[in-house]
């Protein structure tokens, strides 16, 4: 029998080891996985949890991903775009509260107006949030999809310094199954390379528990993160959204149990990614809490170190549902802030107030290059 302890004590893990870790089932093995992930987190990143105020500033999207609730063909939601003032005021509120960083997330648009709009919002926020607490202003992460090189560059020059672009799955065949033909895996990899090239701290991630996705695929996802030398990871369980093509094609997954399964698999992915990649930032994503009330705390306990409290103005929250059961849609930003801080403290972790909380991986890579 394979002994999990032996694998966890090895220096370098190989693909087989990763598969074994992801296949852990007994509570004893899960306990070992969790404590090893925590040990590595403490050693390489410290135990602080970084807050990123998440502002979902628009649900308008040109893409038609088969899994996503805000895909362009979904006519059952009201499309919105926050005004510049609304976004800036929300960001100012975050800075005031001690969030060192925000994430500006939206559906994808590639037109010039959009890119110009986001650039000007970013540079304004940077200017307006410089203070004694934040000498370089709020840290800004963007999550606005695939763009061309010049747009990425413009956004970087405007002052955004991190970018999240999920690969969704590193299995190209599976990628094709969950996206329309206009979207390509290769293009997404190219975008990730451009982002790194420009100097962004770059994050990617996958959905966990997709139909036809195997444990081997997930192990390959972790190897993919390493091969492109990623700085940050945001990944979470796949959850059906009723107004998407994938909701209809999956009779098997209508079973409520799939959620429990995807939830546990996500915690194992977080722990294994932490053990294998060591010094990257890993987010404990909202989708975990959509399945279990304390899902985000669990993600932190399994090695994540970033949490993204929802700061989107309340009236827009219900229009930004990528999957079903999104938590906190009735709450106010203040509630999400208080609740996140409480939750972090409840598991004996410290909140990193007024700091950017950059990825240690990115920091050490760059200090080596100097």
> What residues make contact with ligand 5AD under the rule CB under 6 A?
67-68, 166, 168, 207, 236, 238-239, 241, 287, 322-323
CB of 239 to ligand 5AD, least distance (A): 4
Give min distance, CB of 257 to ligand 5AD, in A: 16
Answer for the pair 353, 302: CB distance below 8 angstroms, yes or no.
Answer: no
Q: Which is nearer to ligand 5AD, 168 or 279 (CB)?
A: 168
User: With respect to ligand 5AD, which residue has the nearer C-beta, 45 or 290?
Assistant: 290
Apex 156 CA angle, 155 and 159, nearest 5: 95
**Minimum separation from the CB atom of position 135 to ligand 5AD (A):** 31
CB of 168 to ligand 5AD, least distance (A): 5
Comparing CB distances to ligand 5AD, the nearer of 140 and 239 is 239
Distances in whole angstroms, Cα of residue 235 to Cα of each of 20, 159, 168, 221, 268: 20, 25, 8, 11, 11
CA 280 to each of CA 59, 219, 291, 349: distance values in angstroms, whole numbers, following the listed order: 29, 17, 25, 18
Cα gap 219→310, rounded to integer Å = 30
Shortest separation between residue 41's beta carbon and ligand 5AD, angstroms: 23
Smaller CB distance to ligand 5AD: residue 145 or 303? 145
- Pick between residue 236 and residue 313 the one whose CB is nearest to ligand 5AD: 236
Provide the 3-class DSSP secondary structure of residue 102.
strand
CB half-sphere exposure, 72, CA atoms < 13 A: 8
- β-pairing, 281-284 vs 232-237, is parallel
Q: Of 285 and 340, which has the nearer Cβ to ligand 5AD? A: 285
C-alpha 313/C-alpha 320 separation (Å) is: 11
In the complex, least distance from residue 208 CB atom to ligand 5AD, rounded to whole angstroms = 8
Cβ closest to ligand 5AD, residue 18 vs residue 167 = 167
Minimum CB separation of residue 192 from ligand 5AD in Å reads 13
CB atoms within 10 A of CB 368: 7
Helix (H, G, I), strand (E, B) or coil at 236: strand
DSSP 349: -
- CA pair distance 294, 297, nearest whole angstrom: 5
Rounded least distance, CB 78 to ligand 5AD, Å: 18
253 DSSP 8-state letter: G
* Cα separation, 1 vs 26, whole angstroms: 14
Instruction: Report in angstroms the alpha-carbon separations of 307 from 59, 262, 273, 315.
Output: 21, 19, 17, 22
Compute the C-alpha angle 356/357/362, nearest 5°. 110
DSSP 150-185: HHHHHHHHHT--EEE---B-S-HHHHHHHS-TT--H
Closer Cβ to ligand 5AD, 201 or 262, answer by number: 262
Could you tell me the smallest distance in angstroms from the CB atom of residue 51 to ligand 5AD? Answer: 19
Q: Which is nearer to ligand 5AD, 59 or 129 (CB)?
A: 59
């Amino acid at each position: 029998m394979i002994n999990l302890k032996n694998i966890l004590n090895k220096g370098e893990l190989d693909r087989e080891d990763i598969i074994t870790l992801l296949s852990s089932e007994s509570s004893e093995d899960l306990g070992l996985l969790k404590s090893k992930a925590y040990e590595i987190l403490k050693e390489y990143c410290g135990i602080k949890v970084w807050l990123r105020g998440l502002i979902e500033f628009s649900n308008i999207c040109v893409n038609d991903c088969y899994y996503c609730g805000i895909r362009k063909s979904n006519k059952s939601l009201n499309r919105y775009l926050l005004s510049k003032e609304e976004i800036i005021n929300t960001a100012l509120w975050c800075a005031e509260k001690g969030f060192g960083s925000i994430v500006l997330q939206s559906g994808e648009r590639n037109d010039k107006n959009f890119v110009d709009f986001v650039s000007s919002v970013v540079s304004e926020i940077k200017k307006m949030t410089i203070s004694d607490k934040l000498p370089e202003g709020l840290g800004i992460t963007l999550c606005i999809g695939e763009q061309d090189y010049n747009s990425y560059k413009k956004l970087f020059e405007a002052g955004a310094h991190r970018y999240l672009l999920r690969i969704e799955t590193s299995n190209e065949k599976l990628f094709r199954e969950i996206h329309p033909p206009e979207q390509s895996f290769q293009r997404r990899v190219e975008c990730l390379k451009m982002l790194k090239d420009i100097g962004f701290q770059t994050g990617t991630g996958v959905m966990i528990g997709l139909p036809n996705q195997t444990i081997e695929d997930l192990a390959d996802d972790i190897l993919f993160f390493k091969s492109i030398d990623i700085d940050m990871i945001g990944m979470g369980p796949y959850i059906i959204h009723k107004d998407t093509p994938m909701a209809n094609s999956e009779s098997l997954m209508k079973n409520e149990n799939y959620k429990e399964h995807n939830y546990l698999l996500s915690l194992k992915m977080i722990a294994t990614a932490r053990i294998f990649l060591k010094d990257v930032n890993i987010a404990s994503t909202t989708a975990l809490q959509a399945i279990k009330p304390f899902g985000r705390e669990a993600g932190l306990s399994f090695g994540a170190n970033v949490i993204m409290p929802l700061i989107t103005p309340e009236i827009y929250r219900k229009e930004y549902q990528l999957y079903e059961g999104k938590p906190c849609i009735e709450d106010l930003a203040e509630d999400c802030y208080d609740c996140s801080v409480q939750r972090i403290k409840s598991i004996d972790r410290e909140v990193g107030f007024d700091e950017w909380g950059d990825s240690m991986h990115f920091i050490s890579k760059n200090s080596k290059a100097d």
